[in-house]
């Protein structure tokens, strides 16, 4: 990221805590022996589902009266006993919690919504079986998932990671609970900044973590120690407000997201800078100001490592002065929706010319026409197209505005607060 002078007055966006950090912190605190405090956790459907699943294991999670913090009393290892765990729509729960369960002792049944059942688990299941876990799957190799656990010895493992980095992260977080730890290698890793985030948090909870010269990751046995952690604002969520600044010429600042951020998705502001926005990143905040000449196109960008933000760029790309091509995002077809197809079909519904391939999308400039946006129960589709409506001034009706509750229940209200002329998306059903 580069630092550029931003002289116009800035409006501060109120961005909730990172989902990725919140759920990782909850799991590590649950595995530690003692009490940890997670400050400023995200309150959303996904984090509530993750927290509820942990309580099914017997983990005690106490909330302060205003949920300013969650106090987690860990198990000091893997879970013991029997439990049925409902993951709802939360992919992190379905991918992080089974390795944790396998490192314990007992029988644990995981299930989730029809949307979550459709998401792939094969690489994780195969890895757990190679480590010696007894795993039974539902039709297609996914949820429901039954794990009969008698702890895990650990050892060496190569994890197929072309579909998601979450399989590797889940196994790494369970590794200190294995008898001999783990030496893990990733095959075709996507979204590598999320693995770096995982390792950083593991170190903060006392795990022994080392990256070897050949790119492997060595995790020492020994478990975790409790700690207190403050959750950063969610960088993926911040992308919508940074993009809103870029397409309106306004200036938006997100406090708490700075040069020391653990989240790779903050690199989205580099993409906005390529598109003509002015960006300032300090130790304590990031500010984006829209360029005087509007959004600049005519470039292609690999967003494979920050794929949760590719939709933000694709949705505002019609407002640029030349086409924008985004590539390296094939794994985004396996998220809450097939995100490449969902974005492309919604843009076409708005009259925008789009081309797409297995792992890329090209969006051409054009004024959107009024349309009804199919959200596919995907929070990021709803948020991205809300920014397109704001920047274009064209009414776009979301068929499921409430799906933003997965990560930011107050999204529409915050967008309206910052941009008062924005139609209230929650009333446009």
pLDDT at 208: 98
Q: Is 308 a catalytic residue?
A: yes
**Strand partners of residue 186:** 159
5 burial via Cβ count (<10 Å: 0-12, 13-18, 19+): exposed
**Residue spans of alpha helices (H) in 338-378:** 339-349
Instruction: Quote the pTM value.
Output: 0.94
User: Do 223 and 177 meet the contact criterion of CB atoms below 8 Å apart?
Assistant: yes
pLDDT on residue 10: 59
Nearest to 44 by CA among 197, 173, 234, 201: 234
Q: Which residues of the chain have pLDDT under 70?
A: 1-10, 422-429
Note whether 207 and 230 are within 8 A (CB): no
pLDDT in the model for residue 421:
73
| pLDDT at site 427 | 39
In the prediction, which pLDDT does 426 show? 42
pLDDT, residue 423, reads 54
Which of 347, 424, 78 lies closest to 221, judged by CA?
78
From 234, 308, 399, 421, active-site residue: 308
**How many angstroms separate the CA atoms of 248 and 290, rounded?**
6
């Amino acid at each position: 990221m580069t630092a550029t002078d931003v002289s116009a007055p800035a409006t501060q966006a109120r961005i909730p805590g990172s989902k990725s950090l919140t759920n990782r912190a909850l799991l590590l605190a649950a595995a530690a022996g003692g009490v940890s405090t997670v400050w400023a956790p995200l309150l959303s459907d996904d984090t509530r589902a993750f927290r509820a699943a942990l309580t099914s294991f017997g983990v005690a999670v106490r909330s302060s009266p205003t949920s300013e913090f969650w106090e987690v009393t860990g198990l000091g290892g893997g879970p013991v006993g029997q439990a049925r765990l409902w993951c709802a729509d939360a992919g992190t729960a379905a991918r992080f919690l089974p390795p944790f369960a396998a490192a314990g002792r007992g029988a644990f049944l995981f299930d989730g919504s029809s949307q979550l059942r459709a998401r792939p688990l094969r690489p994780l299941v195969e890895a757990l079986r190679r480590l010696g876990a007894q795993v039974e799957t539902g039709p297609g190799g996914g949820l429901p998932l039954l794990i009969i656990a008698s702890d895990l010895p650990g050892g060496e493992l190569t994890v197929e990671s072309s579909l998601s980095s979450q399989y590797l992260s889940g196994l790494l977080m369970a590794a200190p609970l294995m008898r001999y730890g783990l030496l893990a290698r990733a095959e075709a890793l996507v979204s590598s900044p999320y693995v770096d985030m995982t390792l950083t948090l593991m170190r903060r909870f006392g795990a022994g973590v080392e990256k070897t010269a050949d790119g492997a990751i060595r995790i020492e046995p020994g478990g975790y120690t409790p700690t207190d952690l403050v959750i950063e604002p969610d960088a993926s969520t911040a992308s919508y407000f940074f993009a809103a600044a870029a397409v309106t010429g306004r200036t938006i600042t997100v406090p708490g997201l700075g040069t020391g951020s653990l989240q790779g998705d903050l690199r989205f502001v580099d993409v906005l800078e390529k598109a003509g926005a002015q960006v300032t990143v300090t130790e304590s905040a990031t500010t984006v100001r829209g360029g005087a000449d509007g959004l600049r196109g005519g470039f292609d960008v690999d967003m494979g490592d920050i794929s949760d933000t590719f939709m933000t760029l694709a949705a505002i790309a019609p407002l640029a002065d030349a086409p924008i091509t985004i590539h390296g995002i094939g794994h985004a077809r396996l998220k809450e929706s097939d995100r490449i197809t969902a974005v492309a079909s919604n843009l076409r519904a708005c009259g925008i010319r789009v081309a797409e391939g297995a792992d890329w999308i090209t969006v051409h400039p054009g004024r959107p026409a009024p349309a009804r946006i199919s959200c596919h129960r995907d929070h990021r589709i709803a948020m991205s197209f809300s920014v397109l409506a704001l920047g274009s001034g064209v009414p776009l009706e979301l068929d499921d505005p409430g799906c933003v509750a997965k990560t930011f229940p107050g999204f529409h209200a915050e967008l309206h607060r910052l941009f008062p002329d924005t139609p209230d998306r929650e009333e446009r059903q």
